[in-house]
Amino acid sequence: MLVHELLTPSSAICNLEGGSKKRTLETVSKLISENTPDMDITCVFNGLHGREKLGSTGIGDGIAIPHCRLAECKNATGFLIKLESPIDFDAIDRKPVDLIFALVVPEDATSEHLQTLASIAELFSNEQVREKLRAAESNEQLYKTICELSG
């Protein structure tokens, strides 16, 4: 699945105030549950936070890809977030994170989950992609940029 196929215009958020890793995961969980009525905010947070306890999803270069599989999830869903200010995310390179792609997939979508994570990581490994996303100044511009870059 292509990255932009996981997003809608309302799932690209520019200049979100993060504060901390936990607070950001709480906010992401709230956004996902508000946009996907089948998914309870507590379940989403517990899934994302539980995955972080296994090891940080901060992959370096200011990028984090928090993700989980949930029984309540019917269709893979993503959120792209550009934080107002970088936060500590316990990334492997110890650099703060300012771009987050949150991914929630159905519990039984193991191979799809891994393929999608790989495509997200590959896209975000490109410095030009990161620069263009960081240059976005609105939700609409962030969404349009990711669609152009991943399409």
Q: What share of the chain is helix, strand, coil (3-state, %, to 5)?
A: 50, 25, 30
71: Cβ–Cβ under 8 A, 6 or more apart, which residues?
Answer: 106, 107
Q: Distance between CA 41 and CA 47 in Å, rounded? A: 10
Each residue of 116-127: pLDDT tens digit? 888 899 999 999
- pLDDT for residue 114: 81
**Global confidence as pTM:** 0.93
- pLDDT for residue 38: 83
- pLDDT for residue 1: 60
- pLDDT for residue 43: 95
Please provide the CATH number assigned to the domain covering 3-150.
3.40.930.10
Each residue of 122-146: pLDDT tens digit? 999 999 999 999 999 999 999 999 9
Residue 49 is a catalytic residue: no
Q: Which two tokens stand for residue 49?
A: 């936070």
Q: Distance between CA 9 and CA 42 in Å, rounded? A: 24
- pLDDT for residue 81: 96
- pLDDT for residue 108: 85
Residues of the chain with pLDDT under 50: none
- pLDDT for residue 37: 80
Which is catalytic among the residues 4, 49, 67, 113?
Answer: 67
